[in-house]
Amino acid sequence: MPAPLDHVLQHFHAGRFTEAVDACRESLAAWPDDLGLLTILGIALHRSGRSEEAVAVFRDAVLRHPAEPDVLANLAILLQTAGRLVEAERCLHRLRAVQPHSVVAMQRLGVIEQSKGDVDLSACHLDRAARLSPLSAEALFNLGAIRSTLGFPDQAAAAFSALIAAEPGNAVGYVQQGATLLALGALDRAVCLFDRARRIDPSNSEARDGAARCLRYRVAVAASHHSGVPEGILIRGPYQGISGYAHMTNRLVGAMAADGVRVHTLGLLGNEPWAEPLDRVVRARSIVSCQTPPTVEIVPGLMTVNLTMFEGTRIPVPWRRLGERHDLIIVPTESSRIAWVEQGFPEDRLRVCPLGVDAEAAAGPAVSLTLPDGRPVLGFRHRFLNISDFIPRKNLDGVLRVWLTATTAADDAVLVLKLGKGGSGTSAAVEALFRQTEAIVGRRREEAAPILVVVGALDEASMTGLFRTATHYWSLSHGEGWDLPMSKAGAMGLQLVAPAHSSYVDYLDGRVARMIPSITGPAHLPNSRDPWPTFHGLDWWEPDEGAACQIISGIVRDEDVVRLDARGHLLARFTWAQASEKLQGILRETGAF
């Protein structure tokens, strides 16, 4: 070890990273190949917030020491931390070649592949990491998590059991094992694990919530065998919050209660209070979970019914694996049913129960919206509304491409984009999408009819007012399980423009809406053919943008003035009362009620 390294280490261990950097550079002038100096310099730069310089140092170190595993590992970690995953992955594969038994390489390759959506390849890497380091809590946790994601809760439970053995004082292992056992229906064992986690770490909220759910489940099972308890339906779902599943759960529970059905509500966490006294215990035959299959928990003694939906042409394979543990899958549309069948799920355990629409009266105040130049939105003749989360499936890049192509600044029209009910997407990300799309189309937004982006959370009344501001509701989504904003817009009398695919064709057709032809294709990122990790290996629908341009331009130029009445059609066929009645019928027919 060169003598100057001792001096450098004194600064480094004392946290004087700037001084350590200066001392390293001074020593490297004399010993430019010294691995210790290069390593300390890179780490000190990173810890002082100069990560780009740190990457450059480790790249130089790799050139000088190409077969040194620690240098490759440090460079890969820095690149992965900076979000430069392609470069990090390349570096990790090189590390793996130099050191085939590198736990760092396996662990980090597993995490990167999972972020890309390839959970099968991720599981291979993480399984290898766990076998190479069988006592590593991190390796066992990651292996358990990926096995759970893949739909193998029994294998996940084994990994978390090993994690507990490796670190018996770590509450996280007990919590994860408890949650996994609930997915397997092992209620009594889960109770013990959550209790153990609470004793280790009383502040652990997941342990507290898990214990609360277990208590509610035990009460529900006891009530199911008690003849003195009135018969009813037990529903678990996210009835607090702004998600589509929360909306569905609230509306269904309200409709069933109005129909005289006794309902016992249970939230996802287990301790959420219902707004009304609907958490009373009932004698139920099943637990109806309004959520996606990965979050369903099995309660011994009760049938497991999952009310869910999917937005692509086939469900993910893990959904099918998890669904096979459930007694019944109920979906709102034929497209969701087909998505399950296409992945090999038994048809005799599938049922279709259409949802309802929200039919607030069209009369009432609209939200006052103003463009940046001061013009009121209500002053435009044609006012298009699109409410979407800022995710690739909503195809906002397609909406922008069509709007920039189909309209001009002279058109008496405006497009209002509401990014999620609660607001989603940063302003920087939204602006980046605009600029990227402008470059692809070859037109600036100033050359098209105005676009107003609305962000931030709005309450129910304000959201309804937003609908009253519009004349048309338009979606170009790649797939929907049940488009709540679209159905609400139609029920409120707005003119609808929808792609002819997924759930849309279950409650709309050319008689009541302008339908955009669509074909299927692989899911991809906005303005790109790169795959979208969330839909890895799956297909969705591609609306015909040329046809969409013709429809939009025809409306804004008053060439298409035919009014289509979706309101009467929707209100006659899709009410929450009808949804409640249908759901009850399915549960009775299958012995779940």
Half-sphere exposure of 424 (CA within 13 A, CB side): 16
Which pLDDT score, from 0 to 100, does residue 326 have? 97
Residue identified by tokens 């009432």 is 364
Residue 368 domain-assigned (yes or no): no
Over residues 442-466, the mean pLDDT reads 90
- Reply yes or no on whether the pLDDT at 169 is more than 60: yes
- SS3 (DSSP) at 268: coil
Single out the residue in 42, 66, 100 at which a domain terminates: 100
Which pLDDT score, from 0 to 100, does residue 271 have? 83
Mean pLDDT over all residues of the chain?
Answer: 93
Residue 174 domain-assigned (yes or no): no
Which pLDDT score, from 0 to 100, does residue 185 have? 96
Binned at pLDDT 50, 70 and 90, residue 38 comes out as very high
Residue 26 domain-assigned (yes or no): yes
Instruction: Report the C-alpha gap between 355 and 253 in whole angstroms.
Output: 12
What global pTM score does this model have?
Answer: 0.91
- Reply yes or no on whether the pLDDT at 278 is more than 70: no
Torsion, CA 547, CA 548, CA 549, CA 555, rounded to 10:
110
Does 397 lie in the same domain as 350?
A: no
Residue 330 domain-assigned (yes or no): yes
Binned at pLDDT 50, 70 and 90, residue 7 comes out as confident
DSSP state of 283: B
Which pLDDT score, from 0 to 100, does residue 359 have? 76
- 404-408, 454-458, 511-515, 544-548: least confidently modelled range: 454-458
- Reply yes or no on whether the pLDDT at 198 is more than 90: yes
Instruction: Report the C-alpha gap between 547 and 537 in whole angstroms.
Output: 27
Instruction: Report the C-alpha gap between 260 and 443 in whole angstroms.
Output: 57
Which pLDDT score, from 0 to 100, does residue 275 have? 62
Q: What is the pLDDT of residues 77-106, one digit of tens each?
A: 999 999 999 999 999 999 999 999 999 999
- 199-203, 263-267, 397-401, 545-549: least confidently modelled range: 263-267
Q: What is the pLDDT of residues 359-398, one digit of tens each?
A: 776 556 788 899 999 999 999 999 999 999 999 999 999 9
Residue 566 domain-assigned (yes or no): yes
Does 40 lie in the same domain as 87?
A: yes
Instruction: Report the C-alpha gap between 520 and 212 in whole angstroms.
Output: 44
Helices of type H across 259-355 = 317-323, 334-342
Domains in the chain, number: 3
Give residues with Cβ within 8 angstroms of 568, minimum separation 6. none
E strands along 214-257, which residues?
A: 233-236
Which pair of tokens denotes residue 401? 């491409």
Burial class of residue 374 (count of CB atoms within 10 Å of its CB; 0-12, 13-18, 19+): exposed
Does 449 lie in the same domain as 403?
A: yes
Binned at pLDDT 50, 70 and 90, residue 1 comes out as very low
Does 259 lie in the same domain as 392?
A: no
* Angle in degrees, 0-180, between the axes of helices 69-81 and 85-98, rounded to the nearest 10: 160
Q: What is the pLDDT of residues 522-532, one digit of tens each?
A: 999 999 999 99
DSSP state of 517: P
Which pair of tokens denotes residue 154? 């029994």
Does 93 lie in the same domain as 32?
A: yes
Does 584 lie in the same domain as 547?
A: no
Over residues 296-307, the mean pLDDT reads 97
Residue 195 domain-assigned (yes or no): no
Single out the residue in 70, 100, 130 at which a domain terminates: 100
Asked if 380 and 470 count as a contact pair (C-beta separation under 8 A), the reply is: no
Instruction: Report the C-alpha gap between 320 and 41 in whole angstroms.
Output: 50
What's the domain range around 385?
Answer: 377-573
Does 394 lie in the same domain as 347?
A: no
Single out the residue in 72, 100, 128 at which a domain terminates: 100
Binned at pLDDT 50, 70 and 90, residue 143 comes out as very high
Asked if 118 and 536 count as a contact pair (C-beta separation under 8 A), the reply is: yes
Residue 213 domain-assigned (yes or no): no
> Any idea what the CATH number is for the domain that residue 28 is in?
1.25.40.10
Residue 180 domain-assigned (yes or no): no
Does 393 lie in the same domain as 342?
A: no
- SS3 (DSSP) at 143: helix
Over residues 579-586, the mean pLDDT reads 97
Instruction: Report the C-alpha gap between 20 and 26 in whole angstroms.
Output: 10
Does 386 lie in the same domain as 505?
A: yes
Instruction: Report the C-alpha gap between 476 and 541 in whole angstroms.
Output: 10
Does 398 lie in the same domain as 290?
A: no
Which pair of tokens denotes residue 68? 């040194």
Does 554 lie in the same domain as 584?
A: no
Does 304 lie in the same domain as 398?
A: no
> Any idea what the CATH number is for the domain that residue 283 is in?
3.40.50.2000
Over residues 217-242, the mean pLDDT reads 90
